[in-house]
Amino acid sequence: MRRKDVPQDKSLFGEMKEIRYAVDDEGRYVLVESAGWEPANIANNEAWKSIDSAVEAVLAKARAGELSPLAYHMARNQMDPRMLADYAGLFPWQVRRHMKPGPFRRMRRALLFRYAAIFRITAEEFRSVPGNRA
Amino acid sequence: MNPAFPHRQSAHCESGVAANLFTFHGVPVSEAMVFGIGGGLFFAHFPFLRINGFPLTTFRAAPGRILRRAAKRLGIDIRFRTFRDADEGMAELDRNLEKSTPVGAQTGVYWLPYFPPALRFHFNAHNLVVVGKEGDSYRISDPVFPEPVSCRADDLARARFARGKLAPRGKIYFVRNVPAKIDPAPAVTAAIREVCFLMTRLPIPLIGVRGIRYLAGQVASWPSRLGRQGALPHLANLIRMQEEIGTGGGGFRFIYAAFLQEAAAVLEDDRLLGISREMTAIGDRWRDFAAAGASRCKGRDDGNGDFESLARIVRECADREHALFRELGSLVRGGRHAGGK
């Protein structure tokens, strides 16, 4: 890549610039700031689109009462039951169980606070999903 | 607080952290040099190892390897520690900072508040250097950012003890000793030899040049095996892996080309400059692949975007890298650069 070809496409991450390696007119490598590159933006956008649509789907189910708020907060934090179980010091099957509304309601208070702390929200926020009270 | 820490923004976090740490301790090296001596260039495609449901494709050495290899080859004594307990991990960090020792750390990026939200995935092999503490917040030299940043103690603790794949377990590392005199030539030779071996001589079809050819076949078969709906996300994910934050199009190929230029000076061998030029050209082809693939994802198919022609670009990269590493290997094997481990 030549220095003049270093892409300066507006990226997803605002003002932050990244470093790229490119050759100058004498063929020597130099470090050049780049604002971003459209193909990389497209690929990253695809990833966010699939995360967003997964969160939307879980949110709809949580509002309909098919899944608990925990399932929503987990999806919003890009976690799966295994990762969340690791954070919470539980077994994955326990987390999966708490994704159901019934077991979620019967959860111990201490555990509820533990989950809320992992997601960095209050217990009140943890018990609900946006646009609906669980 | 350590105002003297030489923060330099880098293309890749691990080689950047290593270069800045070594420079602080009196071994002035560039990121490209560390990347090369650490044997940073690599390729592997594991269709059965899934990350977020996608096959694992990597264009560089496994996390941690560049730093370890580079330190070992330069004779730099570096100590690594992991912790079971977060409080103990933070206390050990503070003890080192009180001695004015900059401390490298492996972290997740998800919990680092200074990262732009668009980059906050559960990626756990990020590297940064903690250079000081002011009250309840740490001063951090994060090599993919232009300037040092600040981070609250509880955020840093979370990032250091992130869970999931490649969990850092609070890993920190610091330089304990550097040799009085370093001769880079044997380190460079040994590193080049290792990369040539891994890229061309391993009898495993998923690794090195054979892995690139294998990937080409996979790309060509995605539409028929996964359908259009499945093939496009796979393609997008592959591009993301190739473009990995801050490394730019085919970025690791360009960093390695920069290393080969420096290596030409160290080994006093101008033939390496020609190989560096070819490496640059190959990096440009990887970039072409990403560009064509991305416009395919966007549905802007300009004729270059069907999967068979994408696979052809990958195959061309494989062929050219194969020829390049064989030539490079023959330059450092046995000949006058021998003598390095």
pLDDT at B72: 96
pLDDT one-digit tens code per residue, B178-224: 999 999 999 999 999 999 999 999 999 999 999 999 999 999 999 99
Percent of chain B surpassing pLDDT 90: 78
Which helix or strand (DSSP H or E) is residue B207 part of?
none
Would you say residue B130 has pLDDT above 90?
yes
- CATH 1.10.260 is the classification of domain A41-127: yes
pLDDT at B230: 85
pLDDT at B273: 96
φ/ψ of B29, rounded to 5, equals -130, 155
**Between A84 and B123, the higher pLDDT residue:** A84
Mean per-residue pLDDT, B87-108? 96
**Which chain A residue is nearest to residue B255, measuring alpha carbons?**
A21
Residues A39, B261: C-beta atoms closer than 8 Å: no
Which of A2-11, B132-141, B256-265 is the least confident region? Answer: A2-11
Q: How far is B98 from chain A (nearest CA, A)?
A: 30
pLDDT one-digit tens code per residue, A85-108: 999 999 999 999 999 999 999 999
Q: B249: which chain A residues are within 8 Å (Cβ-Cβ)? A: 1, 7, 37, 39-40
pLDDT at B217: 96
Taking every pair of Cα atoms in chain A, the longest distance, rounded to a whole number of angstroms, is 70
pLDDT at A46: 86
pLDDT band at B339 (very low <50, low <70, confident <90, very high): very low
**Which chain B residue is nearest to residue A1, measuring alpha carbons?**
B284
Would you say residue B4 has pLDDT above 90?
no
**Between B295 and B244, the higher pLDDT residue:** B295
pLDDT at A134: 43
Residue B202's alpha-carbon distances to B55, B69, B78, B194, B217, in angstroms, are 21, 19, 29, 11, 19
pLDDT at B334: 62
Question: A interface toward B at CB cutoff 8 Å?
Answer: 1, 6-7, 12-14, 16-23, 27-29, 31, 33-34, 37-40, 42-44, 46-48, 50, 77-79, 82-83, 86-87
- The complex scores an ipTM of 0.89
pLDDT one-digit tens code per residue, B29-44: 999 999 999 999 999 9
pLDDT at B337: 55
pLDDT at B50: 86
Q: B145: which chain A residues are within 8 Å (Cβ-Cβ)? A: 16
pLDDT at A17: 85
Q: A76: which chain B residues are within 8 Å (Cβ-Cβ)? A: none
Q: B284: which chain A residues are within 8 Å (Cβ-Cβ)? A: 1
- B133 in Cβ contact with B201 (< 8 Å): no
Question: Where are the CATH 1.10.260 domain residues in chain A?
Answer: 41-127
pLDDT band at A36 (very low <50, low <70, confident <90, very high): confident
Kindly report each contact of residues B197-206 with a partner whose C-beta sits within 8 Å and lies 24 or more positions away, as own/partner: B197/B329, B198/B39, B198/B42, B199/B41, B199/B42, B199/B43, B199/B321, B199/B322, B199/B325, B200/B322, B200/B325, B200/B326, B200/B329, B206/B44, B206/B45, B206/B46
CATH number of B13-40+63-177: 3.90.70.10
pLDDT one-digit tens code per residue, B245-268: 545 445 899 999 999 999 999 999
Question: Where are the CATH 3.90.70.10 domain residues in chain B?
Answer: 13-40+63-177
pLDDT band at B300 (very low <50, low <70, confident <90, very high): low
d(CA A90, CA B338): 54
